[in-house]
A and B are shown apart, each in its own frame.
Chain A
């Protein structure tokens, strides 16, 4: 049951959730790297669905997903990759992350069926605010969550509404901006997290993403959040590595070590 799996994954706090798109640097490398992340310290993984026009992403993820598309990756190959990860014994929740058009084009019912069959536990759609997510959420049903996002620009009223019916966990965007590593953790983050904690139903984990580049930054965020999402830094480390699988394993271990025993 996907929701129950997600809940279990947050028993260890803060949870570490790396992001990688399927197909980068190559399809085979990405599957190896996802496996290495899953077996070396990740509590959940965001598995990226490449899209031609990723407008919430910065240059690193934009370039990586472009390469993945050039490598011929489709939504179908993302599902194949999930199946392969499950076959290799990766048991943690796998959360799909992708823009709406490919999901819509596949058909919402078909997406749910194929995603569940492949072993996905939830989906994050950055260009689908709650106002437009009704159809997808209905198709996904009660147990397969469409993860909601909150931004620093979200008003208290709006946050209240978004939190009220959120499922799985909440994705807090740490900065006003696109994905990509930053030098420093946003100064307003503690206040933002505190504000959301007041609105969120008991027990719904708060995960922070966008801009977290190093284990030290992850630790800083992990002291006040229930989960830490690392995307661009992860993509960059793999893209530069001779052996992506080894780099992924090392990266997961480093972040895991930095986050050990510091949960909120």
Chain B
């Protein structure tokens, strides 16, 4: 029996080796106690305010709104949180929880590096030992974050198995956890994995939606008409969405990585490819998983390391079933164009992950009315992506994508210079 519901509709659950079941039970019990413990909440909130820099502001993107025509666009600035992304909210919460459970060692996995940096940061702050698993492909495309993690005192462990990306880093983190479960907390970075992680991570990320709603009401006197966020595992999106779930007039839109396009299969969209995405089980959770007809986990592709994952958080699958949230895709090319557009028009360089949400706004805003409001969760900043982006954007100073072509969903396809499939 679990204390909290272990599933969202039919999604979620706890599909893990028996060795981990007691640790998940302990984590759930401790999380539930901490959630109701005023001292814990005060400590966490204190860190979020004084250390992580919350609340993060809401910025009106005036030049982007003007350029696109249509809706007024606002940005929830998670890029301004300490370490440069929303990941710090969850990392601080779970690190405090680990401390509460008497666990002195933290393991984490990271794709884009942001969660690894956030985990390493929280561990440095609280004096915990930290090991971060990262696929070799991701280490190459996110070299600055690898350096940051090491500088923060974390050990970065390269993962050379499988596709050498996030999926394989999670496998290795779970293997480490199975081996060291009595002394170690697995600080999982997104709203996925076995129960209680999807619920717990959502609770730690709820601060995004809670703040955003209050700030929108204060700034505009109303809730937005649409709230848009990128979805890899889906933690920034679930954090934003949770603030507006009870506002039926707010359309919730999650944007998955369309990679080089759905048709060719080189993408990470779990909701838009009925051929490759089926219900399944990956890393402890029952959800939509990109897989082969024989049930092997498929290789994925995205220009953005943080969205390059074969499964989607179970609560997103449930919100989609309910019709409460809608899920779209942005291709690599669209995300790159949006990356440049936001940089040149607003002076804000978004993470490539967040650029997928911006790309959706670029498509959607022109179709909306001027009195309507579109809120984008800018989940992180793009400094970490410069090495990836530089060779892909031919000539940055002259690159000013036409909003018309963006609105039509056109853009340069292919040629992202990313890895090819490693497996024959």
Residues of A within 8 A of B (CB): 51-56, 58, 62, 66, 69-70, 74-76, 99-106, 126-129, 131-132, 149-155, 158, 162, 173, 176-178
Contacts and interface: CB of A to CB of B under 8 A. Distances in A.
Contact of B16 (A127, A150, A152, A173): A127
Given A105-B278, A177-B179, A153 B297 contact: no
Given A99-B281, A149-B18, A158-B21, 19 more contacts: A55-B283, A70-B423, A100-B15, A101-B289, A102-B294, A104-B280, A104-B295, A105-B291, A105-B294, A126-B18, A129-B14, A129-B16, A129-B17, A154-B22, A158-B22, A173-B17, A173-B19, A177-B178, A178-B175
Interface in B108-139: none
Given A55-B171, A101-B282, A132-B15, A176 B297 contact: no
Contact of B175 (A55, A105, A129): A55
Given A131-B14, A151-B17, A53 B294 contact: no
A2 to B, nearest CB: 22
B181 A176 contact: yes
B335 to A, nearest CB: 27
Contacts of B17: 55-56, 126-127, 129, 149, 151, 173
Contacts of B178: 55-56, 176-178
Contacts of A129: 14-18, 21
B209 to A, nearest CB: 30
Given A52-B297, A149-B18, A127 B281 contact: yes
A176 B182 contact: yes
Contacts of B162: 52-53, 66
A10 B282 CA distance: 34
B270 to A, nearest CB: 14
B178 to A, nearest CB: 6
Interface string B1-38: 00000100000011111111111000000000000000
Contacts of A56: 17, 175, 178
Contacts of B278: 105
Which of B21, B23, B293 counts the most chain A CB atoms within 10 A?
Answer: B21
Interface size class of B (residues with CB under 8 A): 35 or more
Given A100-B281, A177-B179, A178-B175, A150 B297 contact: no
Contacts of B283: 53, 55
B284 interface: yes
A53 B297 contact: yes
Contacts, number: 120
Interface string B297-308: 100000000000
A184 B296 CA distance: 34
Interface in B255-292: 278-284, 286, 289, 291
Given A132-B13, A176-B179, A154 B21 contact: yes
Contacts of A162: 18
Contacts of A152: 19
B126 to A, nearest CB: 25
A152 B182 CA distance: 11
25 contacts: A53-B162, A55-B174, A58-B175, A66-B161, A69-B296, A70-B423, A75-B294, A76-B294, A101-B282, A101-B291, A103-B295, A104-B280, A105-B278, A126-B17, A126-B18, A129-B14, A132-B15, A132-B286, A153-B19, A153-B20, A162-B18, A173-B17, A173-B19, A176-B178, A178-B175
A132 B423 CA distance: 31
The main secondary structure of chain B at its interface with chain A is: mixed
B205 to A, nearest CB: 25
Nearest to A152: B19
Contacts of B18: 126, 129, 149-151, 153-154, 162, 173
A154 B17 CA distance: 11
Interface in B78-129: none
Contact of A176 (B14, B19, B423): B19
B133 to A, nearest CB: 12
B296 A52 contact: yes
B179 A178 contact: yes
Contacts of B420: none
A58 B179 CA distance: 10
Contacts of B297: 52-53, 101
B167 interface: yes
A51 B281 CA distance: 12
B19 A151 contact: yes
B179 A106 contact: no
Nearest to A57: B175
B291 to A, nearest CB: 7
A103 B424 CA distance: 23
A74 B289 CA distance: 18
B183 to A, nearest CB: 10
Contacts of A76: 294
Contacts of A158: 21-22
B21 A132 contact: no
Contact of B281 (A104, A106, A149, A155): A104
A238 B20 CA distance: 31
B22 A153 contact: yes
B295 A106 contact: yes
Nearest to B310: A53
A70 B295 contact: no
Contacts of B296: 51-52, 69, 101-102
A199 to B, nearest CB: 14
A154 B18 CA distance: 7
Nearest to B297: A52
A176 B21 CA distance: 12
Given A70-B423, A154-B21, A62 B161 contact: yes
Contacts of B291: 101, 105
Nearest to B293: A105
B292 to A, nearest CB: 8
Contacts of A105: 278, 280, 291, 293-295
